[in-house]
Amino acid sequence: MKQPDFTEIADLIDQSHRILFITGAGLSADSGLPTYRGIGGLYDDADTEEGMPIEVALSGDMLRQRPEITWKYLLQVERACRGAGFNLAHRLIAELERLKPQTWVLTQNIDGFHRAAGSQQLIEIHGKVGELSCPKCHYEMIANDYSQIDGMPICPRCHGVMRPNVVLFGEMLPEPAVEVLHREMMRGFDLVFSVGTTSVFPYISQPVFEARKWNAKVIEINPGITEVSPFVHYKLPMRAVEAMEAIWEAMGQPVPQQQAALS
């Protein structure tokens, strides 16, 4: 592991064709979002009013059995995040996709900020809060925020309770996203960035471990030490915005004007 050398990293980007960014809550923390562990961390160490852990309230089983409980906490989580938007790091990752068309983003974040910032080759492995679907009749709708939802969103077609297209506790990953991830992993990458994620899930840490097989370099951007820290080539112990801006400057690229969507 080496100390930050942004010129070396800029050179690596220059020499690479296929670049993967793996991103987590730390990236959106720079947008002012709470760095919760998954969707439930707003309630770290505390049970809900119903006396159950938040992981139970926000589980696929609870959504099926008592959707009013799951929705009560989904609305609370969404309200805590409302008004935030993508930040400069999201924006620079999207800009890099323009310079390097084989750039991909694998994100655990469900906030939709990568898409909003312009990333197109995007694997939202935990889904996104901005999409609702009806488990019964499969009606789909966009919900830019949940401010219009009173209690629970009801399907206009079959009057069933709708759900957000996010991975709740105890649920499987969305198959289309998994398929794209497998396909791109088979193609391999030249350079892997792990940004603002503790990498506790195997499908999040796997590309870091596969990097050796691809002969790829791995760069971690995270103020803390994580599961993958011992395995990376470069460790940038900084926040995502700070690190991406420094890399961008080292690449000789003009840093776009901010601040976009911060409320």
**Which residues are known binding-site members?**
134, 137, 155, 158
Q: Among 6, 36, 139, 231, which residue interacts with Zn ion (rule: CB under 5 A)? A: 139
Select 20 or 162, whichever has its Cβ closest to Zn ion.
162
Whether 138 is catalytic is no
Three-state SS string across 62-73, please? HHHHCHHHHHHH
Determine, following the binding rule CB under 5 A, whether residue 6 of this chain makes contact with Zn ion.
no
Report, in Å, the least distance between residue 112 CB and Zn ion. Answer: 23
Q: What is the spatial distance between Cα 102 and Cα 85, in angstroms, rounded to a whole number? A: 25
Token pair 């309770």: residue: 161
Report, in Å, the least distance between residue 155 CB and Zn ion. Answer: 3
Determine, following the binding rule CB under 5 A, whether residue 161 of this chain makes contact with Zn ion.
no
Residue ranges of the annotated binding site for Zn(2+) are: 134, 137, 155, 158
Report, in Å, the least distance between residue 57 CB and Zn ion. Answer: 23
Report, in Å, the least distance between residue 141 CB and Zn ion. Answer: 10
Strand partners, 106: 22, 123
The residue length of the chain stands at 263
Question: Of the listed pieces 22-30, 80-88, 151-159, 184-192, which binds Zn ion according to CB under 5 A?
Answer: 151-159
Find the helix or strand (DSSP H, E) in which 20 lies: strand 19-23
Question: Of the listed pieces 34-42, 159-167, 192-200, 221-229, which binds Zn ion according to CB under 5 A?
Answer: 159-167
Select 2 or 64, whichever has its Cβ closest to Zn ion.
64
Determine, following the binding rule CB under 5 A, whether residue 155 of this chain makes contact with Zn ion.
yes
Q: Among 160, 188, 223, 237, which residue interacts with Zn ion (rule: CB under 5 A)? A: 160
Determine, following the binding rule CB under 5 A, whether residue 22 of this chain makes contact with Zn ion.
no
**Cβ within 8 Å of residue 202, ≥6 positions away:** none
Classify burial at 24, counting beta carbons within 10 Å of its beta carbon; exposed 0-12, middle 13-18, buried 19 or more: buried
Select 52 or 152, whichever has its Cβ closest to Zn ion.
152
Q: What is the spatial distance between Cα 91 and Cα 173, in angstroms, rounded to a whole number? A: 26
Name the active-site residue from 126, 138, 182, 233.
Answer: 126
Between strands 163-166 and 127-133, the pairing is antiparallel
Q: How many CB atoms lie within 10 A of CB 139?
A: 15
Determine, following the binding rule CB under 5 A, whether residue 137 of this chain makes contact with Zn ion.
yes
Structure-token pair, residue 207 = 């590309």
**Cβ within 8 Å of residue 253, ≥6 positions away:** 95, 99
Binding site for Zn ion (CB under 5 A): 134, 136-137, 139, 155, 157-158, 160
